[in-house]
Chain A
Amino acid sequence: MNEPVIETRELTKFYGDIPVVNMLNIQIPRGMIYGFLGRNGAGKTTTIRMLMGLVEPTRGEAKILGQDRGEWTPELRARVGYLAEGHHVYGWMTVRECGLFQAAFYQHWNADIFHAVIKHFGLNEKAKAGGLSRGQRAGLCLALTLAPEPELLVLDDPALGLDPVARRSLLESMIYVTRKQDRSILFSSHLLSDVERVADRIGVMDRGVLRADCTMEEFRRHIHHFVLEFAGVPPAPPQDFEGCLLASFRTEEEMSLTLVNPTERDRETMARLKPRVCEERDLDLEEAFIRYVGDRGEKSFLLHEMGEKK
């Protein structure tokens, strides 16, 4: 009954010898808002472009609304709204012409939604699309994508390059129009803050591999941050954790460690370092995400080492 709206099986894409998407398995149930996260170059856009039939996967399968990705019919395209990251519209058209042009292809076109979004972004219908600011163009694209009221919305980093106000404006419109209609949304971004207010579940890509697929609460729960205070210079961080050490940071008397999936044995390992204080602190979601996708390894801020280097 609750058939997934998007389903991939070992979806893989090579550019040259590098797998930019590596055996991706993902299932997004109907009615879910799925935040698709990762750093730039993690493989989010390539995945979305493969799903939309714009890029041919090297191997693997994908289904959209139950149909194979290679069999895009006009009916299926009408059910899927796609907003690409560049916010492309034909610059020589006016805002009104853009609406008319897009509406001509759809049997169902909700002009109210189109005008509401246009109004929300303060767009003049007679303005040339080529003369709009980046945020306004994003609003126009969103209006064009939302007006056909698609069952599935695929938004590829819609807020990319927008200033905070335009970003907020875009997200508000999206939430307003989509939330009450129980639509499925795949929403990619490289910032967790974009999706944290709307996403039911998130997937995190790291160098082509899906490393996390869970709710935000689960995500936050699996990432732990420890602060260890020492009487003197802290020792080097241990390398034998059972969980994955994401990052460590040392100062003159303090060492902080961020781990994914730490175990009791990891806590004992930390205790063996004989810190003066060992404290587990909560990370907010944004911080947890940055630690998760950020560069791995040790960072330090030891004054005596800096002096030696000098």
Chain B
Amino acid sequence: MRTILWKEFREMWVWVLLATLLVAGAFSYGWSVAVNRMFYSNGEAWHSVLHPSVVLVTTFAPMIVGTALGFLQIMPERSRDRWAFLIHRPIRVEQIFWGKILVGLMGYSLAVVLPFAVFSWYCSQPGSVPGPFYWAMTLPGLSSLLCGVSFYMAAIITSLRETRWFGTKAVALVTAAGQIWVVSGVSSFEAALWQILWPSLALFILAHALFVRQDLFDRLKFGGKVASLYVCFVAACTLPPSIKFIHNMFEKNTSGIWYNYEMDREGRILRVEQSDGGAVKIQDLEGNPINFSDDELLNYPGWRADESYFDQAGPPSWRFSYRDPQYHVNELGRDLSHVWFYLKERRVMVAYDRATRRKTVELGRNGKVSVQTGQAEPFESKHISFRDVRTQLAMFDDGARLINVLSGEIRMLYHVTENGGDCIKSGAHLRKSRVETSKDDYYVLLIGRHFHFYDVEAGLKFKVPVDPAWLKADYVNHSGYYASKSKKIGITFEPRWDIPREKRKKMPIYFLVLNEDGSGVQHFELPPLPFVEIKKPWTRHLKWADDYLLKSLHHRAMMYYHARQGRAHEVEAWQKFLQDPAKYYRHLGWLTLAGFLSSLAGWFWIKRYRPTQDRMLLILSLLFLCGPLGLLAMIMALPRHRLKVCPACGSLRPVEKDHCPHCSAPWQTPEKDGTEIFSVQVREERSS
């Protein structure tokens, strides 16, 4: 074993060194991109290990290095003489496998984990990152690094598998890609670990089984067979999302036309069409075209409250996960010299100097405190939504506050428990000027069934009732407008962004219009808008797959999957689905039909090989449960037996079997051609 380790080390060290240098270089480059951007536009250098340019490295480096090391360790030795030289020695083949795996994983750790660890340590040092750093921020990177092990195993399997077609050979790589896809979508690291564990375990078992047995399905032991089927099944499961991905890739929103309702400076509600070229077509609600000379005709949205963070349990957005920097820390905006953050654990706001990248000030219940003099006291509640320090509006679980980060002054705008427990659904700062805040601005909170309008001194000016029909979970996007000429305020209730386009096209849009003193409230229910018309790509031909395969299988599965993650919208959608018998039974019917058809196809496939009754029953049951994806997995995993005509009965029989499964006849010995020369002794042996 030690000798194998030595040999593997000697063969791999150059590659490992090269990979280490490349990965370290990639981290350095990623970090330099992140740091350079902080001085321009919306830099997010404080994301440190979660910065997109770094995440790119932590996502792709493990994939590339893992795959490369796996191939480099096996491929060169796989040619037949080299393999024979490696394998034919008086130790157990498992020991050779372990020797390779240990060196490979050590090499992988050196090449990928070490640079990542060093980089994380650098980010944790004060003065390195212009923002707070938590070690928990390294968990997404760590999960990607663990996925790299799967790629390593997958490359070993791909090198070892002997199949006719490379696509079937590379099925393990597809599984590893599917794994990293799933892992990047789960909400917590614990969930990610489970998603990493099972495929990795299956890939490891299969790699071990193939290495030791050096052949495909038939010679594998039970564990190897199960692992092979599982790996192929996971790979097959990537097919529906891949179709969806390809479809979406060609369906670019930017090539379409965008529709929405806006309010102009006169206070009229207008239907606006914008094409990707920037051309704007405006109509009033009667369909009459409105001419305009410049964009001054339109208001800019005074505020936008995309989503409520306060009336739902659990992570609010289906994309929100431990991979988001905001999961750990909220960035609250920046002024000229500082970037502000809210630390969820400590419930305080902190400011980092943009030049020195060090923490300078804390802000809490007791106001502003310099870090040199002490610590701020925590706010009473944990969650916060604070879009921009300039708006001053900060919303917590227990209510809304106005926080002036320059002076440290904190004023309570609305307290949930003091006002009967009505939660804040959304809130925003409604500015009347495009350029700067003024003392005439409003702070608007949607609480219960009313919009509450506050002045900048935190005084409640008036309340406006909202039609209860509008307060649905699908309508959490609000935009507000201030018409400067007519002194009117308009608020839209638009469908959520993540609702499927086909459904959105049928949902009306609500518009609330009122005077700036709160009088003259009007409720409008406006016709649905297409939102965006998309030029149909060539992938429209995949629509049947989208309708029948994806909707009935993939979409429901994804809904269930995200509901299991505790994502509020999907939990609600899943509950709705379960409570709708028509939909539920129709879906069940689809699944049953798919299972039945898959079993039928499997039966046609398998019956040629005349398996035992028990085995046939097992295969058909599995196919019924796993459906078309199970069928695909079976086709990929099971070897295709060659069939020859039986000379005795004329039926097709697998060449692997000694006896014909139809007539039990053995194979005929090769025909004699008269050249046979066998010594007497050999003839006796052969006849016996």
**Known contacts being A212-B676, A260-B674, is A54 close to B84, with CB within 8 Å?**
yes
**B100: shortest Cβ distance to chain A, in Å?**
14
Are B677 and A222 neighbours in the complex by a CB distance under 8 Å?
A: yes
Render A11-37 as a binary contact track against B, CB cut-off 8 A, 1 for contact. Answer: 010101100001101010000000000
**Is there an interface contact between A84 and B85, defined as CB atoms closer than 8 Å?**
yes
Q: A185 interface residue, CB < 8 Å from B?
A: no
Beta-carbon contact of A10 and B658 below 8 Å: yes
| Bound: A215/B3 CA distance, A | 43
What is the 8 Å Cβ interface bit string for chain A, positions 204-246, against chain B (1 contact, 0 not)? 1010110111110011001100000000000000000001101
Question: Considering only CB atoms, which chain B residue lies closest to A148 in the complex?
Answer: B90
Greatest chain A CB density within 10 A among B2, B89, B93, B644 is at B89
- Could you say which interface size class chain B belongs to? 35 or more
A107 to B89, CA, bound (A): 11
Is the pair A78, B90 in contact by a Cβ cutoff of 8 Å?
yes
Q: Mark B644-659, 1 if CB is under 8 A from A, else 0.
A: 1000000000011110
Contacting pair A219 B81 (CB below 8 A) = no
Within the complex, the shortest CB–CB distance from B159 to chain A, in Å, comes to 16
Per DSSP, chain A at the interface is mixed
Provide the residues of chain B in CB contact with A80, threshold 8 Å: 88
- A285–B3 CA distance with the chains assembled, in angstroms: 46
Cα(A195)–Cα(B678), bound, Å: 18
For A85-127 the 0/1 string (1 means CB < 8 A from B) is: 1111110100000000110111100000000000000000000
Contact of A14 with B81 at beta-carbon distance under 8 Å, contacts A23-B669, A218-B677 already known: no
* Interchain CA distance A106-B91 in the complex, whole Å: 9
Find out whether the CB atom of B214 lies under 8 angstroms from the CB atom of A54: yes
The residues of A that contact B93 with a CB separation of less than 8 Å are 72
Q: Given A56-B219, A59-B658, verify A82-B679 contact (CB < 8 Å).
A: no
Chain B residues with Cβ below 8 Å from A85 are 81
Indicate the size class of the contact surface on chain A: 35 or more
Q: In the assembly, what is the distance between CA of A54 and CA of B215, in Å? A: 9
| Residue B82 interfacial (CB < 8 Å) | yes
Determine whether B434 belongs to the interface, using a CB cutoff of 8 Å to chain A.
no
Interface contact A218-B88, CB-CB below 8 Å: no
Question: Quick check: A212 and B669 within 8 Å, CB to CB?
Answer: no
CA–CA, A76 and B106, complex, Å: 32
Given contacts A14-B655, A59-B656, contact A101 B90 (CB under 8 A): no
A105 to B1, CA, bound (A): 9
- Flag whether A261 is at the interface (Cβ < 8 A): yes
Q: Are A244 and B685 in contact (CB under 8 A)?
A: no
Residue of A nearest to B10 (CB): A92
Supposing A52-B84, A56-B215, A106-B90 touch, asked if A215 and B675 sit within 8 A by C-beta, the answer is no
Instruction: Please name the residue on chain A nearest to B92 by beta carbon.
Output: A74
* Contact present for A54 and B87 (CB under 8 Å): yes
A219 to B79 alpha-carbon distance, docked (Å): 36
Query: Which residue of chain B has its CB nearest to the CB of A212?
Result: B677
Whether A260 contacts B90 by the Cβ 8 Å rule is no
Check if B677 sits within 8 Å of A82, measured CB to CB. no
Interface residues of B in 1-55 (CB under 8 A from A): 2-3, 7, 10-11
* Alpha-carbon distance between A60 and B657 when the two chains are bound, in angstroms: 9
Q: How far is the CA of A224 from the CA of B215 in the complex (A)?
A: 45
Most chain B beta carbons < 10 A, residue from A49, A104, A222: A104
Task: Indicate the member of B2, B79, B214, B675 with the most A CB atoms within 10 Å.
Answer: B675
| A212 and B670 contact, CB distance less than 8 A | no
In the complex, B135 has a CB within 8 A of chain A: no
Contact status A90-B7, CB under 8 Å: yes
B439 CB–A CB distance under 8 Å: no
Docked-complex contact B84 and A75, CB < 8 angstroms: no
Residue of B with least CB distance to A104:
B3
CB within 8 A of B85: which of A53, A88, A213? A88
Complex-state Cα separation, A223 to B677, whole angstroms: 9
Task: Please indicate the chain B residues that have their CB under 8 angstroms from the CB of A74 in the complex.
Answer: 90-92
Chain A's closest residue to B81 (CB) is A86
Q: Does A292 contact B (CB under 8 A)?
A: yes
**In the assembly, what is the distance between CA of A167 and CA of B89, in Å?**
26
Are A211 and B676 in contact, with the CB atoms below 8 A?
yes
CB distance from A26 to the nearest CB of B (A): 9
The interface centre, meaning the residue of B219, B642, B682 with most chain A CB atoms within 10 A of its CB, is: B682
Given contacts A52-B88, A77-B89, A106-B90, contact A212 B658 (CB under 8 A): no
Query: With a CB–CB cut-off of 8 A, which chain B residues contact A261?
Result: 674-677
Q: In the complex, are the beta carbons of A101 and B670 less than 8 A apart? A: no
Nearest-neighbour CB distance to chain B for A50, whole angstroms, equals 12
Contact assessment for B90 and A75 in the assembled complex, using a CB-CB cutoff below 8 Å: yes
Task: Say whether A58 faces chain B, with CB atoms less than 8 Å apart.
Answer: yes
**Chain A 41-65 against B: per-residue CB contact (8 Å), 1 yes, 0 no?**
0000000010011101011100000
Q: Give the nearest-CB partner of A90 in chain B.
A: B7
Shortest Cβ distance from B196 into chain A, in angstroms?
Answer: 33
Q: Are B642 and A49 in contact (CB under 8 A)?
A: no
Residue B83 interfacial (CB < 8 Å): yes
CB distance from B5 to the nearest CB of A (A): 11
- Given the complex, which residues of B lie within 8 Å of A215, measured CB to CB? 679
Name B84's contact: one of A78, A82, A106 (CB within 8 Å): A82
Interchain CB contact under 8 A, A244 and B674: yes
Interface 0/1 of B661-688, CB less than 8 Å to A: 0000001011001111111001001100
Whether B89 pairs with A59 at a CB distance below 8 angstroms is no
Which of A25, A58, A86 is in CB contact (< 8 Å) with B656?
A58
B206-260 residues with Cβ-Cβ distance < 8 A to A are: 214-215, 219
Smallest CB gap from B95: residue in A: A74
Given contacts A25-B686, A54-B80, A214-B679, contact A82 B674 (CB under 8 A): no
Given A22-B670, A101-B7, A214-B682: A84 in contact with B80 (beta carbons within 8 A):
yes
Taking the nearest CB of chain B, how far is it from the CB of A196, in angstroms?
Answer: 16
Inter-chain contacts of B84 with A (CB < 8 A): 49, 52, 54, 82, 84, 88
Decide: A88 and B81 in contact? CB cutoff 8 A.
yes
- State whether B214 touches A56 (Cβ < 8 A): yes
Judge whether A212 and B88 touch: CB under 8 Å.
Answer: no
Considering the complex, give the chain B residue whose CB is closest to the CB of A201. B679
- B679, A218: Cβ atoms under 8 Å? yes
**CB within 8 Å for A292 and B679 given contacts A59-B657, A104-B3:** no
- B686 to chain A: which residues have CB within 8 Å? 25
Report the separation of the CA atoms of residues A180 and B657 in the bound assembly, to the nearest whole angstrom: 43
- Residues B677 and A49 in contact, CB atoms below 8 Å apart: no
CB-CB nearest in chain B for A208: B670
Asked whether B669 lies within 8 Å of A213 as measured between CB atoms, the reply is no
Minimum C-beta distance from B74 to chain A (A): 15
Do A23 and B670 touch (CB < 8 A)?
Answer: yes
In the complex, the answer to whether B678 meets A214 with C-beta atoms within 8 Å is yes
Contacts of A87 in B (CB 8 A): 81
Smallest CB gap from A82: residue in B: B88
Measured between beta carbons, the chain A residues less than 8 angstroms from B7 are 90, 101
Q: How far is the CA of A246 from the CA of B670 in the complex (A)?
A: 19
| B-side contacts of A92, CB under 8 Å | 10-11
A-B pairs with beta carbons under 8 Å apart, 20 shown = A22-B670, A23-B669, A49-B84, A52-B88, A54-B83, A54-B88, A59-B655, A77-B91, A86-B79, A88-B81, A88-B84, A90-B7, A92-B10, A104-B3, A107-B90, A204-B677, A209-B670, A211-B676, A260-B675, A261-B676
- Where the two chains meet, the residues of A that have a C-beta atom closer than 8 Å to any C-beta of B are 10, 12, 14, 16-17, 22-23, 25, 27, 49, 52-54, 56, 58-60, 70, 72-75, 77-78, 80, 82, 84-90, 92, 101-102, 104-107, 201, 204, 206, 208-209, 211-215, 218-219, 222-223, 243-244, 246, 260-261, 292
Give the top 9 A-B pairs by smallest Cβ distance, nearest first.
Answer: A244-B674, A86-B81, A78-B90, A214-B679, A212-B677, A104-B3, A84-B81, A74-B90, A88-B81
Additional A-B contact list (5), CB under 8 Å, known A74-B90, A260-B675: A52-B88, A88-B82, A90-B11, A211-B677, A214-B682
Q: Taking beta carbons and an 8 Å cutoff, which residues of B are in contact with A? A: 2-3, 7, 10-11, 79-85, 87-93, 214-215, 219, 642, 644, 655-658, 667, 669-670, 673-679, 682, 685-686
